[in-house]
Amino acid sequence: METEQQLLEAVKTGDRQAMRRLYERYKGYAMSTGLRYIPNGDDVEDMVQESFIKILTSIQRFSFQGEGSLKLWIGRTVANKAIDFLRMHERVSFTGTVPDMPDEEPELESIPPDVLNKMIAQLPAGCRLVLNLYVFEHCSHKEIAQRLGIRESSSSSQLSRAKVLLTRMMKDYIKRHGK
């Protein structure tokens, strides 16, 4: 199988076939990333298409840092596009109290990944953004605060809120499906 570096070098020469191969290889990953931010599938497809145009037009600026770094970079680009989309199309609020945590915390591994992905997309926009940036983009609360123009404490409380809401959704799912 073609390594990331080989693929990257071919894409950087302007080879359209190599670009197509890059798209085929990472389209599923890009879609799943987008679906964690944006609940509507059609919107996600539009956003993923825009993201690939952006990726392929700015790939000359990307510096390869080892196998896996290209995938990470693509994920980050899609996430950035998704954040822009969210800010443009949804009212993003970072207020709201943290509800009480259910007594029992279900095993998140017992929830199918596609369902869990959908659950994340159903969270309120503010805490959905913070959760995605913290968990999947590995941003610190300081960075999240700077990026979203909020306070560090707000980022922290939004993450706690996301965790509680997600736990409740998981509990409901387990109850409904008798696991």
Partner 1 sequence: MKQEKWAERLEQHLADYQRDPSHDLWEGIEAGLDKASKRQARIVMIRRWIVAAAFIGVVFGGAILFWNRQQGRDLSDQKRLTETSVKEKPTEDVTPINDSIVDKSEKTNSTPQTFIRPQTEKKLIAENHSDVIPEKQDIETEQQEAVIASDESSSEPSVVFEEHDNHLTRAFGRATKCHHSQLLAMNVYVSGGMNNQERRNGVLMSPPMLQEFAQTRGLDGEPVYLVGYEERQSHDLPISFGLTFSYPLTDRLSIGTGIVYTKLNSEFLNIIQDRQIRRQQTLHYVGIPLNVQFNLWRWQRLNVYLSGGGRADWNVKVKANVDGIDQKMNKDRMQWSVGGGLGVQYNILPQFGLYAEPGIRHYFDNGSNVSNFFKDKPTDFHLELGLRFNW
The residues binding partner 1 (CB under 8 A) are 16, 19-20, 23, 27-29, 31-32, 35-36, 41, 45, 48-50, 52-59, 61-63, 65, 72-73, 76-77, 80, 83-84, 87, 108-109, 111, 113-114, 116-117, 134-136, 138, 140-143, 145-147, 149, 152-153, 156-157, 159-160, 163
Closest to partner 1 by CB, 24 vs 176, is: 24
Alpha-carbon span 11 to 21, nearest angstrom: 9
Closest approach of Cβ 176 to partner 1, in Å? 19
Closest approach of Cβ 5 to partner 1, in Å? 16
> Six-digit token pair at 65?
């840092």
Closest approach of Cβ 138 to partner 1, in Å? 5
Closest approach of Cβ 117 to partner 1, in Å? 6
Closest to partner 1 by CB, 108 vs 172, is: 108
Which amino acid would we find at residue 51? S
Closest approach of Cβ 122 to partner 1, in Å? 15
Alpha-carbon span 134 to 121, nearest angstrom: 15
How deeply is 77 buried, as exposed, middle or buried, from its count of CB atoms within 10 A (0-12, 13-18, 19+)?
buried
